[in-house]
Amino acid sequence: MKDVYILAIESSCDETSMAIVKNGKDVVSLTIATQMDTHALYGGVVPEIASRMHTEAITLVLEETLKKANMKMEDMDAIAVTCKPGLTGSLIVGIECAKTLALIYNKPLIGVNHLIGHIYANNIDDKMEFPMLALIVSGGHTELVIMEDDYKFKRLGETLDDAIGEAYDKVARVIGLKYPGGPNVEKLALEGNDTYNLPKPVMDDTYNFSYSGLKSAIINLVHNAEQRGEEVRRTDLAKSFQVVAIDELVRKVEKAFRETGIKRLVVAGGVSANKYLKEEMQKLCSKYEAKLLIPKLLYCTDNAAMIGAAAYPLYLKKEFSDYSLNASSEGDLL
């Protein structure tokens, strides 16, 4: 079969990224222009600034991505783009670029769900096999699903309030760490011990997640300490939070291993960059003799290579988008 080259575009949040991906797994070139330093000045992503910065960067990112691959637009077989979920203004910049390229170069257009992109990041250096469990842990989502086949999802549980990444970011803020919070909490936790007695987010015996109680407990703890003039042991608090937050993920995946008998797990989304999460999932998978896939660090956080990987099964099935493709802030997997 002829090799398939997909030009993939990702602009759902604060990274403008493009990649050329061969046959859904070989990353021929990848460019990521991050806006992180700018948003860090404001303590979080400012949507209006993000859209403007995507507009500024996107053509340069395209030029660079083609140049690094030593390829031309004519060499591409399709144009893939993240269309949901994400910041609407940010998504629109990538979508408009993709549509224009598809029209001018007469290539099929493929709209890709960003969360599915995070899952397919696992196909880049490894191969996903079905059925498998997929745990999505990102800034906006915490979900546990069964994947029976490419693009066949069955949800076991999801977050009822805050996503785990959001909890990381809010805890970071209250203990005075800079945006992006997740990696900074992880770094601080390395120096701490699990000494704070925090509420476990155990609500019921479902597969659903809830992190707002844990987050609020930490915010209250810090504010109360401040009022009493007491010192907060930030390293210990970061460690204690991380243990409770991630142990909850482990508990739910263990339940799924026991109840479904499935022996494969992929972890996807920004929080999968976390080392403690990786270690705990590895221990669990060893106990259940299950195979664990977590993307390498570069593909854990937002990048266009994962969008190219997720677009490939759609290309094979000829599930193309038309020129009315639009952005959506919501993006259910099912």
Binding site for Mg ion (CB under 5 A): 302
Which region, judged by CB under 6 A, interacts with ligand AMP, from 105-113, 256-264, 268-276, 326-334?
268-276
Mention every residue, 6+ apart, whose C-beta is less than 8 A from residue 228: none
Mention every residue, 6+ apart, whose C-beta is less than 8 A from residue 159: 141, 142, 143, 208, 209, 210, 211
24 binds ligand AMP (CB under 6 A): no
Q: Which of 128, 273, 281, 305 binds ligand AMP (CB under 6 A)?
A: 273
Q: What is the C-alpha separation between 118 and 124, in angstroms, rounded?
A: 11
108 binds ligand AMP (CB under 6 A): no
Q: Which of 169, 209, 218, 265 binds ligand AMP (CB under 6 A)?
A: 169
189 binds ligand AMP (CB under 6 A): no
Q: What is the C-alpha separation between 139 and 24, in angstroms, rounded?
A: 25
- CB of residue 52 to ligand AMP, shortest distance in Å: 20
- CB of residue 141 to Mg ion, shortest distance in Å: 9
The sheet carrying 264-268 orders its strands as 152-158, 142-149, 132-137, 264-268, 291-293
CA 196 to chain centre: 29
Q: Which of 270, 295, 308, 331 binds ligand AMP (CB under 6 A)?
A: 270
168 binds ligand AMP (CB under 6 A): yes
112 binds ligand AMP (CB under 6 A): no
Residue 262 in tokens: 């499935």
186 binds ligand AMP (CB under 6 A): yes
Q: Which of 24, 86, 94, 165 binds ligand AMP (CB under 6 A)?
A: 165
Residue 129 in tokens: 């096999």
- CB of residue 183 to ligand AMP, shortest distance in Å: 4
Residue 116 in tokens: 């599915």
- Which bin fits 259, alpha (ψ -120 to 50), beta or left (φ > 0)? alpha
Do the Cβ atoms of 82 and 267 come closer than 8 Å?
no
* Closest to 209 in 3D by CA, of 157, 258, 254: 157
Taking the least distance from each CB to Mg ion, the nearer of 162 and 302 is 302
143 binds ligand AMP (CB under 6 A): no
Do the Cβ atoms of 245 and 214 come closer than 8 Å?
yes
Per partner kind, with CB cut-offs from 5 to 8 A, the member of ligand AMP, Mg ion, none near residue 182 is ligand AMP
Which region, judged by CB under 6 A, interacts with ligand AMP, from 39-47, 64-72, 146-154, 181-189?
181-189
Residue 56 in tokens: 């500024």
Taking the least distance from each CB to ligand AMP, the nearer of 16 and 28 is 16
Applying the rule CB under 6 A, the residues between 46 and 105 that interact with ligand AMP are none
